[in-house]
Amino acid sequence: MAAGQNVTRRKDFCDLDLNFTMHPTTKDVAKLRGVNAIKRSVRNLVLSNFYERPFRSYIGSNAQKLLFDNINPLTANFLKNAIKEVIENFEPRVRFIDPGNGDIIVRVNPDKNGYHVTINFIVINSEEPAQVSLFLEVIR
């Protein structure tokens, strides 16, 4: 490499695999890398309630609380707003593709007493689109 040339390194995002699968070589907990780590983080943020994380009680979407409300389009809209807010506030590695209506889709499923949630976003620094799909339901 010539003197004076800048080398830019791409930051690789890393997170623990919460399925606790074993790494074949190190026999330690496997790591999620790149887009998969960010998808896991988004999923964890959506599924977290306020006051669940010690010393960080302000992080959460409270989506679980909304699941106990009536299953209707109004609650689906509240759920969509809660998800968007928690991602915008606590996941700086993503940005929404279209800040309008198409990034978070919440479909009501009254037969299964829950909501199908699809979150579309772009990973910062890679411009790679990603999607997280969840089914949120009350577990009784």
In this predicted structure, the answer to whether residue 45 has a pLDDT above a threshold of 80 is yes
Phi, psi of 12, rounded to the nearest 5 degrees = -100, 120
- Report the predicted TM-score, pTM, of the whole model to 2 decimal places: 0.76
Per residue in 74-129, pLDDT (tens digit) is 999 999 999 999 999 998 888 888 766 678 999 999 888 899 999 999 988 777 78
More confident residue, 62 or 115: 115
Residue 72: strand, helix, or coil: coil
pLDDT at 13 over 90: no
Q: Confirm if 109 and 90 have CB atoms less than 8 A apart.
A: no
Look at the chain and report how many structural domains it folds into: 1
- pLDDT for position 95: 87
pLDDT, average across residues 7-30: 61
Q: Within a domain: residue 127?
A: yes
**Domain limits for position 87:** 14-137
Task: Examine residue 31 and state whether it is found in any structural domain, yes or no.
Answer: yes
- CATH number, domain of 117, equals 3.10.450.40
Question: Per the domain annotation, does 9 fall within a domain?
Answer: no
94: exposed, middle or buried (Cβ count in 10 Å: 0-12, 13-18, 19+): buried
Integer CA distances (angstroms), 140 to 30, 67, 68, 106, 137, in order:
31, 11, 11, 21, 9
Q: Give the pLDDT band of residue 3 (cuts 50, 70, 90).
A: low
